[in-house]
Amino acid sequence: MSFMVSHNLAISISSSSSTFLAPCSFNPRSQNVSLNAKRVGICKCVAAQEEVLTAYKTKVSRNANIAKLQAGYLFPEVARRRSAHLQKFPDAKVISLGIGDTTEPIPEVITSAMAKRSLALSTIEGYSGYGSEQGEKPLRRAIASALYKDIGLEEDEIFVSDGAKCDISRLQMMFGSNVTMAVQDPSYPAYVDSSVIMGQTGQYLKDAEKYGNIEYMRCSPENGFFPDLSSTSRTDIIFFCSPNNPTGATATREQLTQLVKFAKDNGSIIVYDSAYALYISDDKPRSIYEIPGAKEVAIETASFSKYAGFTGVRLGWTVVPKQLLFSDGFPVARDFNRIVCTSFNGASNISQAGALACLSPEGRKAMRDVIGFYKENSNIITETFETLGFKVYGGKNAPYVWVHFPGKSSWDVFAEILEKTHVVTTPGSGFGPGGEGFIRVSAFGHRENILEACRRFKQLYN
């Protein structure tokens, strides 16, 4: 609003003006206020037209596939609710057993190798710039010999990366939008979300809590967390994770033999996520390539994230065998190599030095010790919920404990536990409709936090 005074006097007032913020001797309680002016006419109050602010918009359409995605990605949504809880209870000691992030320090045999490589970059002799997009040969060779011994993989079938999650998206880029997809239900959300973004799916079906054109392979206690392949429709790509995230279930040799046969019979490609393979302590396969014929139908992704605490360091790999061919006979590895060279400049040379140290005899022992620690955490969590009368799955060969709350909403259980115990878990329905009624409890945590969380669980459910 502007005050307009006739003749030579004009005073304008704005709520954003610094005049209102500057020191002023004006006393609002004064009874007599005088204003000097040569000639004062009539003061008129005129309303100025408000300026309408319209955000500038480009003419670029939004990716309609991204628009299909429901709410936020699961783990940022869990983090958002954790933050809201902290605002409500600022003094609470919140324990996070939700997102699968490691907590224990990286063994020194590994960090010292990274430090040495880092310092070498300050020297003429030790400096290196861009490396091979596929990874350094010594590391590829070490992965092949240390982790795939007796399987017969060659170093040039291994592509070193910045993590398995990143490789899942690169594989989707390679497959393109004209493929059909199957996933375990429940399963790691990145498989479904990347399929949606690539345009491989239909719209989200709210009633079914599924996307159209995805084959959801139900994995439940009733079928031993392995899908009924006899009733599973044929798809081009099958995502399969063992040990499974979130259920912790590990496929047997017989089950994986069925899966490989199913893929061969249907001409499908399996993307086998083995991110937790080193947690397996019994005779179950650690690699899909332990199954005869798997090299002709399977890609395998893996990572040092949960073995050596590399969640922040970022180092993984993907195996694409030479025998794996598209329908026209073209090698899948050659297309993946092109994708890698186009979208990736290679893993950090410092991270690769750490990975190489992981595979040394000392490094492998150190990794086993860290994995053993987390598995002890799993045992503590499992025993706690079993003592309280819950049905509990996983935990034995995986760092996740899958707890059943029959007849209850996963998000309601998540909210109840957070509200009453200040412990963050992960709602099972975030991993797919088959996860409804379950929560995932992560074993990644300092021992004192695991014990305290279990004490609070007992207090809540006793």
Which pTM does this prediction carry?
Answer: 0.87
Reported as a pLDDT band with limits 50, 70 and 90, residue 419 is very high
Closest CA to 228 of 241, 216, 236: 216
CA 34 to chain centre: 69
**26-to-29, 33, 338 alpha-carbon distances in Å:** 9, 10, 74
| Confidence check: pLDDT of 26 > 50 | no
Contacts of 171 (CB under 8 A, 6+ apart): 271, 299, 301, 318, 336
Contacts of 416 (CB under 8 A, 6+ apart): 460
Alpha-carbon span 216 to 165, nearest angstrom: 20
Reported as a pLDDT band with limits 50, 70 and 90, residue 27 is very low
Whether the CB-CB separation of 108 and 115 falls below 8 Å is answered with: no
Whether the CB-CB separation of 442 and 369 falls below 8 Å is answered with: no
Per the DSSP assignment, residues forming a β-bridge with 43 are 5
- For 248, phi and psi rounded to 5 degrees? 75, 0
Query: So what's the pLDDT on residue 51?
Result: 63
Q: pLDDT tens digits for 90-120?
A: 999 999 999 889 999 999 999 999 999 999 9
- For 306, phi and psi rounded to 5 degrees? -95, 0
Query: So what's the pLDDT on residue 44?
Result: 53
Instruction: Return the minimum-mean-pLDDT range out of 5-14, 118-127, 181-190, 404-413.
Output: 5-14
Give the pair of three-digit tokens for residue 314.
Answer: 């970022």
Q: Which amino acid is at 78?
A: V
Query: So what's the pLDDT on residue 8?
Result: 43
Query: So what's the pLDDT on residue 52?
Result: 65
Which domains can be identified in the chain, with CATH numbers? Answer: 1-23+39-49 (no CATH), 68-104+364-461 (3.90.1150.10), 108-362 (3.40.640.10)
Burial 194-214 (b: 16+ CB within 10 A, else e): bbbbbebbeeeeeeebbbeeb
10 Å CB burial of residue 104 (0-12, 13-18, 19+) is middle
What DSSP element (H or E) covers 225?
none
Mean pLDDT of 113-133: 97
Alpha-carbon span 436 to 6, nearest angstrom: 73
Q: pLDDT tens digits for 266-287?
A: 999 999 999 999 999 999 999 9
- For 460, phi and psi rounded to 5 degrees? -75, -40
Alpha-carbon span 165 to 349, nearest angstrom: 19
Alpha-carbon span 145 to 113, nearest angstrom: 20
Instruction: Return the minimum-mean-pLDDT range out of 46-55, 104-113, 389-398.
Output: 46-55
Mean pLDDT of 136-145: 98
What DSSP element (H or E) covers 427?
strand 426-427
| Confidence check: pLDDT of 6 > 50 | no
Task: Quote the mean pLDDT of the chain.
Answer: 91
Whether the CB-CB separation of 444 and 374 falls below 8 Å is answered with: yes
| Confidence check: pLDDT of 297 > 60 | yes
Whether the CB-CB separation of 432 and 186 falls below 8 Å is answered with: yes
Mean pLDDT of 194-220: 96
Q: Provide the H-helix boundaries in 344-446.
A: 349-358, 361-387, 410-421
**DSSP character at residue 275:** T
Asked whether the CA dihedral 404, 406, 411, 415 is positive or negative, the reply is negative
| Confidence check: pLDDT of 165 > 90 | yes
Mean pLDDT of 328-335: 98
Burial 337-375 (b: 16+ CB within 10 A, else e): bebbeeebebbbbbbbbbbbbbbeeebbebbeebbeebb
Whether the CB-CB separation of 289 and 272 falls below 8 Å is answered with: no
